[in-house]
Structure 1
Amino acid sequence: MQFANRLKALSHNVFADMDRAKTDARNSGKEIIDLSLGSSDLPVAPSTIAPIKTALQDPDTHGYLLHAGTKDFRVAAAHWYRDRFGISVDPETEVLQLIGSQEGTAHLPLAILNPGDIALLLDPGYPSHAGGVYLAGGEIYPMTLLAEHDFLPVLGDIPPAILAQSKMMVLSYPHNPTTAIAPLDFFHQAVDFCREHNLVLVHDFPYVDLVFDREINSAPSILQADIHKELSIEFFTLSKSYNMGGFRIGYAIGNQELIAALRKVKAVVDFNQYRGILDGAIAALSGSQTSVTETVTIFKHRRDVFIRALNQIGWQVPSPEATMYIWAKLPEPWQNNSIDFCTKLVSHTGVAASPGAGFGQSGEGYVRFALVKDPETLRQAAKKIEEFLAATTK
């Protein structure tokens, strides 16, 4: 049986590879402490669950949901955005409901790229960004992120020949996996750069709320630098702020032509999310944000606990200002083989992490831990890591 060539680029996925390693370790009797996936272990707020429960008893919610039926959700998203960032949004033309932001970022290249066109992506970066480009027949130019540049791309380093073939740039800050925050002045630079080179600017923004050490609005929106929405689109999810990862609900806000183009792609791929889930999402966006504040506080405490525990075992790791991750530079002798480190770590100890190489070539030498366990379990994980490092570095 023959398959499309586009699948070749999708043969490896960091989460799928680690899932196999976790399964092998579990089958060998290891108890797994899974810090490899950014899936929150915290509950959804009761005020969000209640409308979903109500909808389940209403047969009118059980059918297909067309675009017109998402209006109340789009209005809620527009109001949330206006209240948060002070920029008005038209829910009819500048908002699109998504089945998670990953769906949107993976489908958008189909609306922008022709085969052979180039997308400028962060390296390291989130795997679905590359996957969507490959499915569209596009090519990738990796924008290297280095600690000495605060994990921001140096736009001036992109060769003119690459820019001549490029159609889009994808950013995502606070950044997964490096946890970096991009300041607003960098977004202004990126908008000016994309305007100069006729690029669509895409910003994936799942960690808008998960900022620990600055005031709440310190993670800027790309539309604050592109107020008139000339060339930008931004993706949001309720998976992180509201712990709704399994409900698969997100949305895009931005340039109305980009929103319309993405809607055309969605129209031939899927309908929309279940209306009851939209009702819950409306309650989350429109109601008290106390649960969001509590979630941020919990992840901040977990960050402090795990960083302290790693430092105590001799692994010095900087404390991240945002996201739900720790981006740790691997100790010797593992600096050039993050996949081997993570595979052996879970095999020997049951502690699962994500290898930095799975996020791009520039991620090699790092490992990402997700803070998705309670503090005591994180301390246990650090103790197991200490034992592993002691046994493998002799």
Structure 2
Amino acid sequence: MEFARRLQPLQRNVFADMDRAKAQAIAAGTPILDLSLGSSDLSPPPEVLAAIAAAVADPRTHGYGLHHSTLPFREAAAAWYTRKFGVAVDPATEVLLLIGSQEGTGHLPLALLNPGDVALLCDPCYPSHRGGIYLAGGEIYGMPLAPDHGFLPQFGDIPGSVLDRAKCMVLSYPHNPTTALAPLAFFEEAVAFCQRHDLVLIHDFPYPDFSFAPDPVPSVLQADPGKTCSIELFSLSKSFHMGGFRVGYAIGNRAIIEALGQVKGAIDFNQYQGILRGAIVALTGDQRSVVAMAQIFRERRDRGVAHLQALGWTVPLPPATPYVWAPLPTPWHRNSMAFCTQLAASTGVVLAPGIGFGPAGEGYGRFALVHDLPLLTTALDRIGTFLATQSPPK
């Protein structure tokens, strides 16, 4: 049996690789503490769950959800966006419901790229950014992110021969996995660059409420309020802990929104209406739960990094996101996959290896701070024992 060549680049995936490592540890009887996935351990706000529960008994929610039926959600999303970022949004033409922001990064390349076209991606980046490009037959040019540039891409380093074939650029700040923030001035530079080179600017934006800096996180559309070339993807998975409900939206340039909607219309309908009712409650509520969530993750970050440093592991304090992006100790810095698989087998603690996010991620491990402090402390103590007793394979 022969399968499509487009599957070849998808043979490896950081989360699938670590899922196999988890399965092997479980089979060996090792208890798992999973810090590899950014799946929040907190629950959605009670009023969100109540709205979803009440919808189950309403027969009007039981049918297919076509695009027109999502208008109340799109109106709530547009209003939330305007309140938060001060950018006017037309819910009829500039918002599209998504099954999480990952659907947007996966499907947008199908609307934008012909085989052989180039997409400019951060390196490292979230894996679905690469997956959508591969499925569309596109080619990837990695923009290396380095700590001496604040993990921001250097647009001036992109060769003209690449730009001649490029159709889009994908950014994501606050950044997963590096935890970096981008100032509004950077987005203004990115928008001007994309306008100059006729590129679509895609901004994956699931972490606007996960900054620990004093200033609010900017949206790319604050740098492109006319929505000349930009589209932003937001997910309720992080801010409202609705990861399993798979709800988010795209917002931005109406032509790009329409093109993405054409792809979506050929592939799926929308979520259950009850989930959208809960999402509307989340977006229109008082946001106190969002503020409380940020404080919980700030404490986990502070305590977790302090614990790692007490173990002798030098780790910078993340400015944003629910992650720690940790340079691996010297003996392991050339093989993050070996470090993470051996750590899982020996201790049951599961991290995400940096190489899984791109070549520039080698030498790092990503911690997801998705357990309460007692469990997080247990996991870090196990890591300390591992560091003291284990060495890399020859």
TM-score greater than 0.5 by the shorter chain: yes
Contact 1:305 1:378 in 2 (8 A): no
Contact 1:176 1:323 in 2 (8 A): yes
Distance of 2:377 and 2:314 partners within structure 1:
15
Indicate the residue corresponding to 2:146 in structure 1: 146
Letter in 2 for 1:160: G
Indicate the residue corresponding to 2:30 in structure 1: 30
Letter in 2 for 1:78: A
Among residues 316, 319, 324, which one is paired with 1:318 in the alignment? Answer: 316
Among residues 301, 304, 327, which one is paired with 1:303 in the alignment? Answer: 301
Letter in 2 for 1:264: Q
Indicate the residue corresponding to 1:126 in structure 2: 126
Question: What is the 5 A alignment of 1:55-94?
Answer: 55-94=55-94
Question: What is the 5 A alignment of 1:197-212?
Answer: 197-212=197-212
Distance of 1:223 and 1:60 partners within structure 2:
35
Question: What is the 5 A alignment of 1:219-298?
Answer: 219-298=217-296
Indicate the residue corresponding to 1:346 in structure 2: 344
Distance of 1:354 and 1:47 partners within structure 2:
33
Indicate the residue corresponding to 2:13 in structure 1: 13
Distance of 1:45 and 1:287 partners within structure 2:
10
Distance of 1:100 and 1:14 partners within structure 2:
19
User: Percentage identity across aligned positions?
Assistant: 60
Q: Does 1:167 align with 2:167?
A: yes
- Deviations, residues 177-215 of structure 1 (Å, cap 9, x unaligned): 000001110101101100111100000000011111323
Distance of 2:151 and 2:198 partners within structure 1:
24
1:377 CA displacement: 1.2
State the TM-score, normalizing by the size of structure 1: 0.99
Distance of 1:80 and 1:392 partners within structure 2:
49
> Aligned to 1:107, what secondary structure does the other structure show?
helix
Distance of 2:193 and 2:267 partners within structure 1:
32
> Aligned to 2:274, what secondary structure does the other structure show?
helix
Distance of 1:393 and 1:238 partners within structure 2:
40
> Aligned to 2:207, what secondary structure does the other structure show?
coil
Distance of 1:382 and 1:250 partners within structure 2:
33
Indicate the residue corresponding to 2:186 in structure 1: 186
Q: Once superposed, which parts of structure 1, at least 4 consecutive aligned residues long, lie more than 3 Å away?
A: none
Letter in 1 for 2:194: C
- Deviations, residues 45-95 of structure 1 (Å, cap 9, x unaligned): 111111101110112211100000000000000000000011110000000
1:393 CA displacement: 4.1
Distance of 2:380 and 2:280 partners within structure 1:
39
Distance of 1:179 and 1:290 partners within structure 2:
24
Letter in 1 for 2:134: Y
Number of residues paired by the alignment? 392
Indicate the residue corresponding to 2:110 in structure 1: 110
Letter in 2 for 1:345: L
Letter in 2 for 1:238: L
Distance of 1:377 and 1:80 partners within structure 2:
34
Q: Does 1:386 align with 2:384?
A: yes
Letter in 2 for 1:19: D
Distance of 1:27 and 1:299 partners within structure 2:
31
Letter in 2 for 1:278: L
Distance of 1:113 and 1:393 partners within structure 2:
45
Distance of 2:222 and 2:321 partners within structure 1:
20
Distance of 1:255 and 1:43 partners within structure 2:
33
State the TM-score, normalizing by the size of structure 2: 0.99
Distance of 2:375 and 2:87 partners within structure 1:
41
Question: What is the 5 A alignment of 1:317-336?
Answer: 317-336=315-334
1:238 CA displacement: 0.2
> Aligned to 1:177, what secondary structure does the other structure show?
coil
- Deviations, residues 16-39 of structure 1 (Å, cap 9, x unaligned): 000010010011011101000000
Q: Which runs of 5+ in 1 are unaligned?
A: none
